[in-house]
């Protein structure tokens, strides 16, 4: 029997801005006044935080937002993360990438472009802006620049019957897609159980990636506050554009802690445990399916045995196959 990996943060969601140039139906960042008036993450703060994240043992930084490409400090931030040896991801809607591609070249390991449809009209209906052609252009530019990319497909009850068109697009363009069900948040509805089963049928399709244990978890109703699976603060931490630790998680922030260049000492203090002890146990945590805090949670059980290990291993094998199918080793 193998021991479980140590429970310490290895993944950071770095929210670089609350601004966005899209108007997606399923997102609240551009709708809610609570997100107005914040400046973007600054290089000087990010530099210190990244240094501390390295010392804490974090391995992967996901730079997200809002739309991260609206943050003018982003290239310097990415460059510093690269120097420190993090695995880096950038989650973007891709609209501004064509004009920034050269500047971003070689600064980030993976760029994830959001794409939920192959119809220009449908894109505009879902995302509220005429950006489809820009995303397609971004994919082509990134491939030309040898940039590793993946698409992210948010599946809703509305688009679930059309997702095969994205898979056809991926095969044609030789690009992988990460499939994730829309989670219940703001005005969004969870995906129906039968629609989760529809997604799973595509598991073995070329260029398609999905996390089977997470889909099972979603299918069974998400988090149970009496047996919580949330790893916020343990596997995953969030840093907001105004340089705060958002706890217990970004989506359900009840407390923000100003970092002020002291992330490491905060992590090493007893306050850290206090901030995250009840993650997954609050009333609002019941049925939670925020993937960032659960999908990853299975990874720290890879060396352990539980009922999910078979599906976890299948997910790892399939991810590896898709990784090898498209990964560019010429970084």
Binding to ligand SF4 (CB under 6 A) within 282-311 occurs at: 282, 284-285, 288, 290, 293
Phi/psi at 162 (5° precision) = -120, 5
Cβ proximity to ligand SF4, 128 vs 261, nearer residue:
128
Q: Does 190 bind ligand SF4 (CB under 6 A)?
A: no
State how far the alpha carbon of 168 is from the alpha carbons of 182, 203, 207, 227, 309, in Å.
21, 14, 9, 39, 30
Which residue in 45, 52, 67, 300 binds ligand SF4 (CB under 6 A)?
67
Query: Who contacts 270 (Cβ-Cβ below 8 Å, separation ≥6)?
Result: none
Binding to ligand SF4 (CB under 6 A) within 215-244 occurs at: 223, 230, 232
- Specify the residue for token string 């969030």: 238
Nearest to 11 by CA among 47, 46, 62, 49: 62
Three-state DSSP at 265 gives helix
Q: Does 252 bind ligand SF4 (CB under 6 A)?
A: yes
Work out how close the CB of 284 gets to ligand SF4 at its nearest, in angstroms, rounded to a whole number: 6
Binding to ligand SF4 (CB under 6 A) within 94-113 occurs at: none
Which residue in 12, 13, 24, 104 binds ligand SF4 (CB under 6 A)?
24
Quick one: which segment of 23-31, 155-163, 202-210, 300-308 binds ligand SF4 (CB under 6 A)?
23-31
Instruction: Tell me the residue ranges of DSSP E strands in the chain.
Output: 11-15, 60-64, 87-92, 110-114, 148-155, 176-181, 208-209, 236-239, 244-247, 255-258
In angstroms, how far is CA 236 from the centroid of its own chain? Answer: 11
Cβ proximity to ligand SF4, 210 vs 222, nearer residue:
222
Q: Which residues pair with 61 in a beta bridge?
A: 12, 88
Is there a contact between 181 and 202 (Cβ–Cβ < 8 Å)? no
Which residue in 280, 297, 300, 312 binds ligand SF4 (CB under 6 A)?
280
Quick one: which segment of 140-148, 171-179, 208-216, 248-256 binds ligand SF4 (CB under 6 A)?
248-256
Binding to ligand SF4 (CB under 6 A) within 116-175 occurs at: none
Work out how close the CB of 47 gets to ligand SF4 at its nearest, in angstroms, rounded to a whole number: 24
Q: Does 245 bind ligand SF4 (CB under 6 A)?
A: no
Cβ proximity to ligand SF4, 224 vs 319, nearer residue:
224
Which residue in 16, 17, 22, 156 binds ligand SF4 (CB under 6 A)?
22
Its sign, for the CA torsion 312, 302, 230, 239, is negative
Is there a contact between 176 and 205 (Cβ–Cβ < 8 Å)? no
Cβ proximity to ligand SF4, 115 vs 142, nearer residue:
115
176-213 b/e with 16+ CB inside 10 Å = b? Answer: bbbbbbbbbbeebebbeeebbeebbeebebebbbbbbb
Which token pair is 70? 């609206």
Q: Does 20 bind ligand SF4 (CB under 6 A)?
A: yes
Work out the burial of residue 272: count CB atoms within 10 Å of its CB; fewer than 13 is exposed, 13-18 middle, 19 or more buried.
buried
Total binding residues toward ligand SF4, as defined by CB under 6 A: 26
Q: In whole angstroms, what is the distance from residue 116 CA to residue 292 CA?
A: 19
Cβ proximity to ligand SF4, 80 vs 215, nearer residue:
215
Cβ proximity to ligand SF4, 212 vs 288, nearer residue:
288
Which residue in 239, 263, 279, 296 binds ligand SF4 (CB under 6 A)?
279
Work out how close the CB of 230 gets to ligand SF4 at its nearest, in angstroms, rounded to a whole number: 3
Which residues here bind ligand SF4, judged by CB under 6 A?
A: 20, 22, 24, 27, 29-30, 65-67, 93, 114, 223, 230, 232, 248-249, 251-252, 279-280, 282, 284-285, 288, 290, 293
């Amino acid at each position: 029997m193998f021991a479980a990996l140590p429970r310490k943060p290895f993944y950071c969601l770095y929210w670089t801005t609350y601004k966005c140039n899209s108007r997606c139906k399923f997102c609240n960042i551009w709708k809610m006044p609570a997100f107005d008036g914040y400046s973007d993450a600054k290089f000087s703060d990010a530099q210190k935080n990244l240094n501390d994240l390295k010392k804490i043992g974090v391995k992967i930084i996901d730079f997200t937002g809002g739309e991260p490409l609206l943050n003018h400090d982003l290239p310097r931030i990415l460059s510093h993360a690269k120097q420190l040896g993090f695995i880096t991801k950038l989650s973007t809607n891709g609209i501004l990438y064509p004009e920034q591609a050269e500047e971003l070249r070689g600064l980030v390991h993976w760029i994830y472009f959001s794409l939920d449809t192959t119809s220009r009209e449908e894109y505009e209906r879902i995302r509220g802006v005429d950006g489809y052609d820009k995303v397609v252009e971004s994919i082509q530019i990134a491939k030309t620049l040898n940039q590793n990319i993946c698409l992210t497909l948010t599946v809703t009850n509305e688009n679930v019957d059309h997702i095969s068109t994205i898979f056809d697009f991926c095969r044609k363009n030789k690009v992988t897609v990460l499939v994730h069900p829309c989670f219940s948040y703001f005005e969004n509805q969870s995906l129906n159980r039968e629609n989760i089963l529809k997604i799973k049928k595509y598991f073995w399709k070329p260029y398609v990636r999905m996390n089977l244990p997470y889909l099972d978890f979603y299918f069974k109703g998400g988090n149970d506050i009496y047996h919580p699976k949330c790893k916020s603060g343990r596997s995953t931490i969030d840093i907001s554009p105004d340089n705060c630790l958002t706890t217990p998680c970004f989506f359900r922030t009840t407390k923000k802690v100003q970092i002020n260049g002291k992330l490491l000492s905060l992590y090493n203090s007893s306050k850290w445990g206090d901030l995250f002890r009840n993650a997954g146990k609050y009333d609002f945590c019941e049925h939670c399916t925020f993937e960032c805090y659960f999908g990853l949670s299975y990874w720290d059980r890879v060396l352990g045995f539980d009922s999910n290990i078979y599906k976890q291993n299948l997910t790892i094998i399939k991810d590896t196959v898709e990784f090898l199918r498209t990964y560019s080793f010429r970084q």
